[in-house]
Amino acid sequence: MNAPTAPNEPPTITVLPPHTAVDYACTASRLEDPHLLPNSLAICFHRTALIAVPVGGRRRGGCLDAGRREIALAIRELLLDRPGFPQPRVRLTSSQSRPHWVVDWGARAPDGRASTTERRHFYGYSDNAIAAHTPQTLPPPGAAPACPASPGAGQASSPSRRTRPAE
């Protein structure tokens, strides 16, 4: 577990084996290409490990909701030059509840005009997983834990979210 950091200290980010992520089982059950899981990372911050799944197969991009900017920047730094996590970048997202920072990698995600199915395909969800869940029961990948665990398999944008790149 990570201890909280003082305001001016860089955040502590720990990489753990993928199966230790709280959202591992949830994500594993939804991926079209489960062979990506061994190369995934459990990224631990705020005392919680979330899974970061590399791109490959159907999966063209991914993301992880980091909350604070400092954490997002530290995660981006950790992903730089790692196989399966091309072009890691940070963006600010605001939803109805709160603004937060997200780390993306791979191709750019479909915009808010894309259907839920198109976004789920982009993040590598299987057709069975997409068909089994409606948007109300399947939280956006990379969202804060909600199902016993949220899929850090990639953040889906919705029309109500505004994003801008980090400086």
Between CA 66 and CA 90 the distance in angstroms is 9
Going by the DSSP 8-state scheme, the letter that residue 35 receives in this structure is G
Q: Specify the pLDDT at position 97.
A: 74
List the structure tokens of 112. Answer: 């808010």
Burial label for 74, CB within 10 Å (0-12, 13-18, 19+), is buried
Q: Read off the pLDDT of residues 48-71 as tens digits, 9 standing for 90 and up.
A: 999 999 999 999 999 999 999 999
Residue 149's pLDDT is 33
- CA separation for the pair 146, 22 (Å, rounded): 10
Share of residues in the chain with pLDDT > 70 (%): 74
Give the pairing of strands 48-52 and 61-67: unpaired
Instruction: Give, as one character, the DSSP assignment of residue 72.
Output: H
What are the pLDDT digits (tens) for 17-28?
Answer: 999 999 999 999
How confident is the model at residue 156, as a pLDDT? 35
pTM: predicted TM-score of the whole model, two decimal places: 0.76
Give the span between the Cα atoms of 24 and 158, in whole angstroms: 23
94 pLDDT band, cuts 50/70/90, is: confident
DSSP-assigned letter for residue 111: -
